[in-house]
A and B are shown apart, each in its own frame.
Chain A
Amino acid sequence: MIIATIYSKCNRKVKLLLLVFISVITTNCVDEFDIQTENFESILVVNTSITNELKKQKVLLSRTFKFEENGPSAEQGATVRISDNNVDYVFEEVSPGVYISIDEFSAIPGREYQLSITTTDGTSYISDKATLPTENSSITQVTPVQMVNNNGVEGVGILVDSFDPTGSSVYYRYQYEETYKIVARFWVPVDLTTSFEFVDRPDGQEICFNSRASNSIIITDTRSQEEDRVNDFLIRFIEAEDISVAERYSILVRQIVQSREAYGFYQTLSNFSESESLFSQVQPGFVSGNIISEKNKNERVLGFFEVAAVSQERIFFDREDIINDLPRFSPGCDRIAPVQSTSESIEEFERRLQDLIRSGNVKFLEEQRGEEDEGTFVFVPRGCGDCSVFGSSAVPSFWVD
């Protein structure tokens, strides 16, 4: 509540009393609410990008699902085929909804590719023909920099540069897979068993690795740039206290050069899923792609069949090189040292210790010995002594220390 009183004196000896009295002036709020699905419609979702990499290409088929449900249901048992002007590439289902080409192939410039799908209910779907956009752009640099994001949080930003001297790429989409090293700071080579014996700790608990893939649409274009150059484009921001930048971090950035139409599809999808300005709302609607049902032209199909040119780049960096001065990830490593209370018998105390060890929530750290021969066992939360909580100990094949 603000009370301001302003007195002003007119030259005609008139006193103006101006009282401005305001309590809470306006509140604007954005509240979250539970979405309930009404009029649910099961729609086939096709997610695929055929690339110029020689590999077994992948097509993902799923169905839309209700908000109340946990995730998509895979579209199983479909016949998937991609044909170019003279060859048919047949796909097989390797896991529910995941279809992989039986033979390796790469998209070749100048050829027209078309996707056809026949689902188990006999409906067949066909895509528009797509060609490979230019392959002239490649990532020139991926740079980690210390920065502050829009919310004022400090951390590491991963910036991408790329350049197409012919100026024909223009529409870019990015995916990444980040992998990071996790070191259990309070790892010791022994474990304490419930019978209070020391045994060798199994391998793979001191140093682990974890990987995460991008789960958002990252796109940019160079239409308004002088050159077809992506410059310092932020594809990922990691807060300084995130576990992934606690030690050593690696990111594989895939740049996908898209056609204008494919870019438009991804852009619309992305626009509909972003938080918006308070006062305007983008008109949402069904995002139509380039796949239709052959029988019923009005049936809705989600997805865009695209053929894209990919270039990728991996970088590594150590925390110390970028954000040494910022706070670091900590799983909260308070020492836990149970002692026998006066009301407790020795049996009761031991049972309590055994329960603690059995729970698996803690890892043995050390035994503190007093002047007499009695020792106190000290534990830490499991994550501090065992990195497998956060990842797996297998060293990725690409990993360079």
Chain B
Amino acid sequence: MLKKYLVIIFLCCQNVWTQESDALITLSYENEDLALILAKIEKLTNYDFFYQDSWLAEYKDLSGNYVNQNVKSILNSIFEDTLLNFFVFEDRVIITKNNSIYDHLPDHFFGNTRRDSSVPQIRNNTRVSPVFETSRIASQQESIETIKIGKSVINSSKTNFVLSGYLTNNQTQKPLENAIIVINGKDLGVKTDKSGYYEFELNPGINILEINAVGMEQQKKRVVIYNDGKLDIAINEKIELLDEVILQSEINNNVEEVVTKTEIDVEESKNIPLALGERDVLKVATTLPGITTTSEGSSGYNVRGGKSDQNLILLDDAVIYNPQHFFGIFSALNPFALGDANIYKSSIPAEYGGRLSSVFDLTTKDASDTNVKVEGSIGPVTGNVLIESPVVKGKSGLMIGGRGAYANWILNSLDEESLKDSEASFYDAIAKYNHQITEKAKIEATAYWSRDDFSITSDSLYIYGNRALSLSGTYRFNENHTAKLVASNSKYSFNIEFDGDTDNDFELGYSIEETELKFQFKYLLKEKLKFNYGVSGKLYVVDPGSIHPRGIESTIQPLEVEKERGLESAIFLASEVDVTDKLTLDVGVRYSIFNLLGKGSQNVYQSGVPRSEGSIEETLLFDKNEIITTYGGPEVRASARYLIKDDFSVKAAYNKTFQFIHTLSNNTTASPIDTWKLSDLNIEPQSSQQYSLGVFKNLDDGTYELSLEGFYKKSKNILDFKTGAEILLNENIETEVLQGNGKAYGVEFLIKKQKGKLYGWLGYTYSRSFLQLDSEFNEERVNNGDFFPSNFDKPHDFSLVINYKFTKRFSLATNFVYQTGRPVTFPIGSFSFDDAEFAVFSDRNKFRIPDFYRLDIGLNIEGNHKKKKLAHSFWTISVYNVLGRNNPLSVFFVTENGQVKGLQSSVFSIPVPSITYNFKF
């Protein structure tokens, strides 16, 4: 309360002891508060004391008796058993807590000065520098509590002080055993004993303590050591301990983590301008190196040269097959519901499997169990609202979100004549329930649903959608051992309704459904050895399609291609070992087995001739649940990190993956009506091996994060098709399939600035992605069996995201992307056939469409920050494609009136402004 003067740490050197200080006084007191005692001294002398009341409050009921002693010795005696120091400057006594005031600069403060040889060295050469707190650190790491320990003793020659204390569980008040306290960056680490007691020696000055106890929240304390002292810490329990806790304050996390993951700041994603003002967490991911989309309006992501079907996209552990609406232009995931978004592209942890390239691990946030929260947005295309409400106060909460597009008129405003009659609308909904049953057990349930309706021509309507359900329970046996059980079910389906003028109206349906049970354990054996192990089983049911007549008049014959069922089982074990303080290994192995199950029929083809309906030798029939074929093998996932410095590390990883399902698509870009197919007797599973090596460096206390990573990836049995293959409802799809090898390599560079008014990142990737389709038969060979660039081979990929915060309310965001144009197959001439001209196409992907670049600018305006205001509002005004660049989406060739014409299409060829209103209360 009384902050009489600002304490100035350095004062000019002077002889501070005036004559008066030697005045002798007599003083006695009994059971008095320190403040009163000091007041007495003030009366007896000319001294004024300067202090904060709170510092003195704890010293009560003091007694003492001093006769004819000087003030200094009296004060020395009074403060002996306290944490207080004092400093006398003329007639003022400045009292400090913990630290002491020095009247001279430390030695070598101005570098090495020439010593006066006449003055003998008195001090021995041990560490005697005073302890200074620098305000810079204090302000930048405000989230860490700072605790001062002990009392500074001037000219102390002690180099180590003892810190001891007890760790307790804040909830149970019981001692925490085996908790580990690590001093950041130092070789010190200690474990608490049965009573939660710890004791270790520390250097004076700032020490960051990191307390890790199983089942407890990770704690970080900044401890400023002045002297020996005690520190008791009560720690809160943490239940979702299977998730990694990422504290923003862990400034070197990106350097220290062993398995590199790309983390998308969900909250920050709202600041990045996107098409039509729609927030999209996954679009933000594509501004980071290694993650791209084939083109502006295409579904799916290509991670490190992999096909878009090679990503495992999980929402609360349930697979989402198509996380995008409207051909990839909008995200199908409600941005308000997302809590964390992590992408693994380098090394995939052993607990995940079934896809080759990456894991997008998205988790929803927990619904609030304390109060009702509403969040919403209104944009030009969609309206979105999310409500959270407690169910049992303090224990459980429910979150329900819904989003819908009023996008029909977008299509109506398109210039394209053929799209005038089109319609497009989409919706998605999400619900989550989380319940903390006991301190040790928690359950979570998530349900997700999405649907898209679109028709490009007036006679056909396409409907596609996702469904995902997951139920998970987490249980903590003890501090070291936890278990998690997840049951999930996902479905992707589409439907085509054709209602034309003639009598062949039909309805065509496709669906894939998977149900997974996963049992996972985490075990901390020693502080330097952690295990993560478990089993999982997944049942796929694919309904490859059925066609039904629509209306009474239709002459379409109903047809159902037989269902496919497959069981993908896996057992996995991963361990993180600290080999030395600097070298940590994360080694895991996953053994996957895939069984294709009956009932079903499989064709056996003659060898030595191309597969065709004519070369079917026999058709094998299998009964229900009979194993048709089995594939599988071990998948090694290993990564290592070596810390060269606290903020500088080298990481290497090797990754092997299997994938037992394939998308069937004869389009150059992924589309919502691509179907998925299980591996069978004739179609082998895909597999891939990736090697990566990277260096990670932080600068300026984590203000800048730098990384440079290279990778080389080989894959096998990548699926492709013969030219002009028929895919939908093809009962002998293997006669149209080609399987080949993939090869990708690249270097990714990223620099990120995390702090300050100006923040953002710059990413550059040079990477290549190739495919090889070779066979002894001409018709099964593409480009003479040589490697050729894949459809998403874009060597140069540059992204720049810059946000500037003018004030707390206004910020400007810009986003610039440059990419090499994707490869296309061009005609190399034309020919005449049946009186019409047709194009002759080149070798596949021999040419490229023009380079892609785009600049988006967004202005974010936060509503005013009045405390009493009910709703917090947030406006986003953005312009997408400011430069109006007409980026071609695709190039194609049509025959019209017997003449070949070349056409190119683009989605957003002019600047697209939009405004979105977000609110929260």
Contacts and interface: CB of A to CB of B under 8 A. Distances in A.
Interface of A: 10, 12, 14, 16, 18-35, 37-43, 45, 47, 62-67, 71-72, 147, 150-151, 159, 175, 213-217, 224-227, 229, 231-234, 260, 264, 267-269, 271-288, 292, 297-298, 302-303
B895 A26 contact: no
12 contacts: A16-B871, A26-B413, A29-B905, A37-B828, A43-B840, A47-B833, A215-B835, A275-B892, A279-B327, A279-B669, A280-B667, A283-B721
Interface of B: 276, 297-298, 327, 378, 380, 409-410, 413-419, 456-459, 501-504, 506, 547, 555-557, 559, 613, 666-669, 671, 721, 723-724, 726, 729, 778-779, 782, 784, 791, 825-836, 838-844, 846-847, 870-871, 886, 889-890, 892-895, 897-898, 900-910, 912-915, 917, 919
Contact of B904 (A30, A47, A147, A226): A30
Contact of B841 (A72, A278, A284): A284
A37 B826 CA distance: 9
Given A26-B414, A62-B831, A285-B723, A233 B908 contact: no
Nearest to A302: B831
A28 B905 contact: yes
A26 B831 contact: no
Contact of B898 (A16, A47, A215, A284): A215
A28 B378 contact: no
B724 A272 contact: yes
Contacts of A292: 778
Given A272-B838, A302-B831, A283 B723 contact: yes
Contacts of A224: 504, 506, 547, 556-557, 559, 729
B908 A150 contact: no
A12 B868 CA distance: 13
Nearest to B380: A22
Contacts of A72: 831-832
B834 A217 contact: yes
B893 A35 contact: yes
A315 B779 CA distance: 42
Nearest to B667: A280
B555 A64 contact: no
Given A23-B913, A32-B901, A282 B907 contact: no
Contacts of A23: 913
Pick the most buried of A21, A30, A151, A288: most chain B CB atoms within 10 A of its CB: A30
A66 B904 contact: no
A339 B465 CA distance: 73
A19 B875 CA distance: 10
Which 3 pairs between the two chains have the least Cβ-Cβ distance? Answer: A268-B724, A273-B895, A285-B723
Contacts, number: 261
A327 B832 CA distance: 35
Contact of B667 (A26, A175, A281): A281
A22 to B, nearest CB: 5
Q: Main SS of the interface on chain A?
A: loop
A28 B871 CA distance: 37
Given A40-B828, A151-B417, 14 more contacts: A18-B378, A22-B915, A25-B276, A28-B905, A29-B415, A32-B901, A32-B903, A72-B831, A229-B555, A273-B895, A277-B456, A281-B668, A281-B890, A303-B833
A28 B415 contact: yes
A272 B841 contact: yes
B826 A38 contact: yes
Contacts of A269: 833, 838
A234 B502 contact: yes
Contacts of A288: 723, 778-779
A298 B419 CA distance: 42
B827 A28 contact: no
Nearest to B911: A24
Contact of B831 (A37, A64, A282): A64
Contacts of B834: 47, 175, 214-217
A287 B723 contact: yes
Contacts of A32: 901-903
A14 B828 contact: no
A65 B827 CA distance: 11
Nearest to B914: A22
A35 B668 contact: no
Contacts of A37: 827-829
A72 B900 CA distance: 13
Nearest to A159: B502
A63 B919 CA distance: 66
B871 to A, nearest CB: 6
Contacts of A268: 723-724
A226 B503 CA distance: 12
A30 B889 CA distance: 10
A102 to B, nearest CB: 24
Pick the most buried of A12, A19, A25: most chain B CB atoms within 10 A of its CB: A25
Contacts of A28: 414-416, 419, 905-907, 909
A270 to B, nearest CB: 9
A63 B890 CA distance: 28
A288 B779 CA distance: 7
B915 A20 contact: yes
B502 A41 contact: no
B667 A282 contact: yes
A279 B782 CA distance: 24
B830 A65 contact: yes
Contacts of B894: 273-276
A201 to B, nearest CB: 34
Contact of B839 (A150, A271, A273, A303): A273
A39 B276 CA distance: 41
A225 B549 CA distance: 9
A226 B910 CA distance: 49
B29 to A, nearest CB: 59
Contact of B905 (A30, A147, A175, A284): A30
Given A224-B559, A286-B723, A41 B833 contact: no
B756 to A, nearest CB: 32
Given A20-B380, A41-B840, A43-B829, A14 B667 contact: no
A16 to B, nearest CB: 7
B669 A232 contact: no
Contact of B555 (A10, A227, A275): A227
Nearest to B847: A38
A283 B902 contact: no
Given A18-B378, A260-B613, A297-B778, A25 B410 contact: yes
Nearest to B326: A279
A20 B840 contact: no
Given A269-B838, A275-B418, A303-B833, A282 B893 contact: no
A71 B832 contact: yes
B456 A278 contact: yes
A45 B832 contact: yes
A286 B840 contact: yes
Contacts of B840: 41, 43, 64, 286, 302
B909 A27 contact: yes
Contact of A12 (B668, B841, B870): B870
Pick the most buried of A14, A216, A273, A281: most chain B CB atoms within 10 A of its CB: A281
Contact of A272 (B506, B721, B726, B893): B893
Contacts of A297: 778
Contact of B415 (A19, A27, A276, A282): A27
A351 B435 CA distance: 102
Contact of A225 (B297, B298, B556): B556
Nearest to A14: B870
Nearest to A285: B723
A97 B414 CA distance: 46
A225 B890 CA distance: 34
Contact of B724 (A30, A41, A264): A264
A226 B892 CA distance: 35
B846 A278 contact: no
Nearest to A28: B414
Given A37-B829, A224-B559, A232 B502 contact: yes
Nearest to B782: A285
